[in-house]
Structure 1
Amino acid sequence: MSTSLLLTNGRIYTMNPAQPEASAVAIRDGRILAVGNDDEIAALADGLSERIDLQGRCVTPGLVDAHVHFQHFALSLGNVDLDGAPTRRVALDRIAAFAAEQRGTGWLSGRGWSQGAWPDHAFPTAADLDAIVPDRPVYLAHKSGHAAWVNSLALRMARVDETTADPPGGQIQRDAAGRPTGILLEDAMTLVAAHIPRPTTDELAEAMRRAQRYCWSVGLTGLHDFDGRDCFRALQVLREAGELGLRVVKNVPVYRLEYALGVGLRSGFGDDWLRIGGVKIFADGALGSRTAAMLAPYEGEPDNRGIVVTDKEEMVEKARQASAGGLGMTIHAIGDRANHDVLDMYELLRREERERGPARLRHRIEHVQVIHPDDMHRLAELGIIASMQPIHATSDMDMADRNWGERARYSYAWRTMWDSGALVVFGSDAPVERIDPLPGIHAAVTRRRADGRPGPDGWFPEQRLTMAETIFGFTTAAALTAGQEKHQGTIAPTKLADLTIFERDLFVVPPDELLDVGIAGTIVDGVFRHRAF
């Protein structure tokens, strides 16, 4: 019996309850052949096998990011990066430096600014940008992706002025005289974004090649994507060329639902590289832009309960159509009102699905960032997957405390979701956050930032998870969410050979040192895509 790769002398955490740990694994033709101790696996070797001594390194099933905007992440690698800018001045300096390096007259794009992290918490303005980039249009997405900061030239090109009405599901921020300030919220962003030239499919595919290499370097073997048709077309180009080296679940924007149903797409259609997920709807906005839909007003803003992007009645209509056609739903809900409305919709949908027959689609809520205590148990009861991003908690904790007050206690409630019996799956929401899984792993087990804040126990420490639970969220849970558990999610015979190799043992390393653990290797389909030893 010939094997193509033997890994020995490792600390292998299989996530397989029948064989939780091992020291060696044999791989053949892209599949796991056997898992066991060094002697058992060495016996399978022959002259054709490559044998690799892991030297005690830690191995898990391949890490999967269950919430990524892959097109936007890929393109962001070539745009101005404002993530982490501590002040408006620093953000403007980065923009000015980028504009100087990338001279031209075309659009200057970027993302990552967050006024909530600045000392005055005030939104920036078009005038701020006009002072440094007056001669080319500028479009900068908020860190959350739910607001845009544009300059006056961009507003003029889009013909947005004091006479322009707010679009449904969006808001043009205005000054006291009614003039646009340069901040566009939610669906108002498209008023300007629609004028930005779209990259060609080939250009996007090339950006994805670079992004894919980065994903391998940080230990990712797969992702669930939430971008649109252009992204899907570029992914197909890579798949057809044999260059797609990540397992991708492609979710469908609700505005493409009619077309998806028209050609008969169903959740799970595709292959092990590229398959259809669910239908994506936005129920509300985001915390950073203070547009997440809340049951009670934001702290200090008695008139602000956020923005309902899609009302409950429309969600019900779209979900009924999708479910009847065999497509699951995956709904963005940040605020407690949004989560409540989505759960009401799912309760109705589940009742109708039971009447149709035994088929049970794997519906999701994306983010579940703050949820009313009365709704905590409902995801488990309805069989709804909690798709959450641990890194959001540590990034957002100051904003959550400031904007939600006592309600922050019920936010980013991974432990509560886990203990309720809901399936919890993890991701990053890149490029909103870094796509690297280790910061998310660190956040899940510590509830602390990299600098140790807010203290040794973390932010609402009762919501911390164990390392085993966290790795489950990045591996097995992702497979279960996508209906891929027969082929992915654990290290077991016949499963796809997708593995992540860490320089140190995540299960014993002190939590404070997790962010220093290197990715030693990433194996996808039995092939090293990244190797550092």
Structure 2
Amino acid sequence: MEPTLIFINGNIITMKEGLKAEALAVEGDRITALGSRDEIMELANVMTRVIDLEGRTLMPGLIDTHVHVVGYGFSFEAIDLLGIPSLEKLVEKCERHIRENEIPDGTWILGRGFDHNRFEDTKRFPNSSDLNRISEKHPILLLRTCGHIGIANDLALQFAGVDGNTYVRGGSFDKHEDGSPNGVIKEASLEWFKEKMSQSRNVDDLKRAIMIGGRDLSRFGITSVHTEDSYDLGYAGDLEDLYEAYRQLIIEGNLYQRVYQKISLPRIENVRNFLKKDLKSGDGNDYFRIGPVKLWADGTLGGRTAWLIEDYDDASGQKGISVYDDDEMVEIIDLCQKNNLQMCIHSIGDAALEQILDAYEKTGSSLEADNRHRIVHCQIGNHKQYERIGRLGLNINIQPLHTRTDFPLIEYRLGKDRTSKCHAWKSLKEEGVVITGSSDVPCTNDRNAASVFQGISAIVNRDYWLKEEEVSVYDALEMYTTNAAYSAFEEDTKGTIEEGKLADLIILSDDPLSIDKTRIKDINVEMTFLGGRLIYGGMK
């Protein structure tokens, strides 16, 4: 054994119950030995780099199980509308961006992050008339913070061929009173629209976005991502440019995270076309694997497109958007299950959750095989549904920081009774459900939302809302390590510090298991290692 790296004099959190170590050795991209300081130092040679932790904490690299790496990368190039206080300020900022950057006519303008619920001058959605004020010579698309609703100006609508008769199942193009499109694009219609827009992007554009997004995620200690790049590109199965971008980055040594790639296949015909490629979940290597098929059963709470059993409290007669009829949901799940494709379904409303659970029960798929299907978000539900999730063996993927953005809004949308059953993480855990954590960046309203320790803080500090649904700090850490690895069938290579596992490691400023839990949000990641290679921070 000739270790390339040795870590000593620190606090090592192995995330393996009962396993303790004072030091560890890395050879190549694998952890090769754990033991006492003296035992590990005996393995060192002249070429071994010894890292003195000086009392700091070493733990496994973190896994974000729901993120949009390509979209996150492109968001750094888009107009940042996070926290924009009014519609007028939005118009002014976009117009100034075009003018000051001297952007040529005909160039696409992308912005994201606004939340109309926080506007001071109006609570309505912006529309094409507002965006036409910004420019009539540039096609413009602005994405709401959730990423599920977009606003386009007339030129962008014209570019995509949208008129009053354009229809996409599972989505909508809102209209003016005269029947012409007003620029508000929701759910599946937005995915279709983005596909038209993305046709101008090439492999180099995708590589740049992946590197920009990945580099930023590395500063939060994230070494693996379950990413949904196809959604951000509007693709539905034709992913060759995306695959090629990742292939080149792996060869060049410029990939900052290991990738479990979710595949957006919103319709049964998309699944059938994908199956012709003879790919299944788990195919790939240590850097890139095919992940689950991604579906959306509904939309978002903020946009009132989450599908509810009962009306919205603040909008009588509205229950949100249902993307599928019951038979199609069953048909897609059954086809994926028969072809070794893991499933990952977006559900925010309780009606969407009910449809998903009914579909799994009809197919029987989750009861018959270790497929580790997952539900993303699972924000609104009830305890009977949570019991069914546990019985079906489904995993749940949560976004802890969404509780803080939902908190001012959710009771207004749902009323007290439904609100009291939302984001019920402890209840789900008590049903035996495997829960994983994630950020969903850039579908957030905070540029630091990818911070796992801010997410963990939101899990373990719920004084502001439903404190009874708090779980322990260790349970929260599992959501980003052992549980996350398990959800991708990667528990043999990731999630814990053990001999033979990948040397994806992070050094922290503080020990999350010993400091006051109110300070967890302030923990800094000082170094991030991917396969023993330093990708963030500096050596002392």
Structure-1 residue corresponding to 2:374: 364
CA shift digits 1:387-411 (9 cap, x unpaired): 1111111122222121111212221
Find the aligned partners of 2:247 and 2:364 in 1 and give their Cα distance.
Answer: 33
Structure-2 residue corresponding to 1:439: 454
Find the aligned partners of 1:42 and 1:190 in 2 and give their Cα distance.
Answer: 54
Matches within 5 A, 1:99-498: 99-102=98-101, 103-105=103-105, 106-119=107-120, 120-161=122-163, 163-190=164-191, 192-196=193-197, 197-228=199-230, 229=239, 230-255=241-266, 256-350=270-364, 354=368, 359-406=369-416, 407-433=418-444, 434-447=449-462, 457-498=463-504
Task: Tell which deviates more after alignment, 343-352 or 218-227.
Answer: 343-352
Find the aligned partners of 2:436 and 2:524 in 1 and give their Cα distance.
Answer: 23
Secondary structure of 2:420's counterpart equals helix
Find the aligned partners of 2:123 and 2:518 in 1 and give their Cα distance.
Answer: 30
| Contact 2:294 2:345 survives alignment (8 Å) | yes
Task: Tell which deviates more after alignment, 97-106 or 388-397.
Answer: 97-106
For structure 2, the 5+ residue unaligned runs are: 231-238
Of 502, 520, 535, 1:514 maps to 520
Cα shift at 1:206: 2.2
Q: Closer, same or farther in 2 for the Cα pair 1:239/1:42, shift >3 Å?
A: same
Find the aligned partners of 2:310 and 2:476 in 1 and give their Cα distance.
Answer: 32
Q: TM-score, normalised by structure 2?
A: 0.91
| Contact 1:4 1:49 survives alignment (8 Å) | yes
Cα shift at 1:49: 1.4
Cα shift at 1:169: 1.4
CA shift digits 1:310-347 (9 cap, x unpaired): 22211111111111111111111110010111011112
CA shift digits 1:169-207 (9 cap, x unpaired): 122223444443321112232564344243101221122
Cα shift at 1:88: 2.6
Cα shift at 1:141: 1.2
| Contact 2:360 2:366 survives alignment (8 Å) | no
Find the aligned partners of 1:22 and 1:90 in 2 and give their Cα distance.
Answer: 55
Find the aligned partners of 1:288 and 1:39 in 2 and give their Cα distance.
Answer: 56
CA shift digits 1:485-515 (9 cap, x unpaired): 0111100111111012111222233344333
Structure-2 residue corresponding to 1:48: 47
Secondary structure of 1:304's counterpart equals coil
Secondary structure of 1:347's counterpart equals helix
Find the aligned partners of 2:263 and 2:414 in 1 and give their Cα distance.
Answer: 31
Q: Which amino acid aligns with 2:128?
A: A
Task: Tell which deviates more after alignment, 129-138 or 199-208.
Answer: 129-138
| Contact 2:265 2:293 survives alignment (8 Å) | yes
| Residue-pair matches, total | 518
Q: Which amino acid aligns with 2:204?
A: D
| Contact 1:68 1:225 survives alignment (8 Å) | yes
| Contact 1:364 1:386 survives alignment (8 Å) | yes
Structure-1 residue corresponding to 2:71: 72
Q: Which amino acid aligns with 2:97?
A: F
Of 503, 524, 531, 1:525 maps to 531
Cα shift at 1:271: 1.2
Cα shift at 1:156: 3.5
Task: Tell which deviates more after alignment, 464-473 or 30-39.
Answer: 30-39
Cα shift at 1:372: 2.3
**Percent identical:** 32
Secondary structure of 1:390's counterpart equals coil
Secondary structure of 2:205's counterpart equals helix
Root-mean-square deviation (CA, aligned residues, Å) is 2.0
Q: Which amino acid aligns with 1:465?
A: V
| Contact 2:70 2:213 survives alignment (8 Å) | no
Cα shift at 1:38: 2.3
Find the aligned partners of 2:88 and 2:466 in 1 and give their Cα distance.
Answer: 32
| Contact 2:140 2:156 survives alignment (8 Å) | yes
| Contact 1:10 1:22 survives alignment (8 Å) | no
| Contact 1:267 1:278 survives alignment (8 Å) | yes
Secondary structure of 2:91's counterpart equals helix
| Contact 2:223 2:530 survives alignment (8 Å) | yes
Structure-2 residue corresponding to 1:451: none
Q: Which amino acid aligns with 1:419?
A: E
Q: Closer, same or farther in 2 for the Cα pair 1:326/1:191, shift >3 Å?
A: closer
Q: Closer, same or farther in 2 for the Cα pair 1:405/1:353, shift >3 Å?
A: closer
Find the aligned partners of 1:462 and 1:198 in 2 and give their Cα distance.
Answer: 49
Cα shift at 1:36: 3.1
Find the aligned partners of 1:82 and 1:443 in 2 and give their Cα distance.
Answer: 24
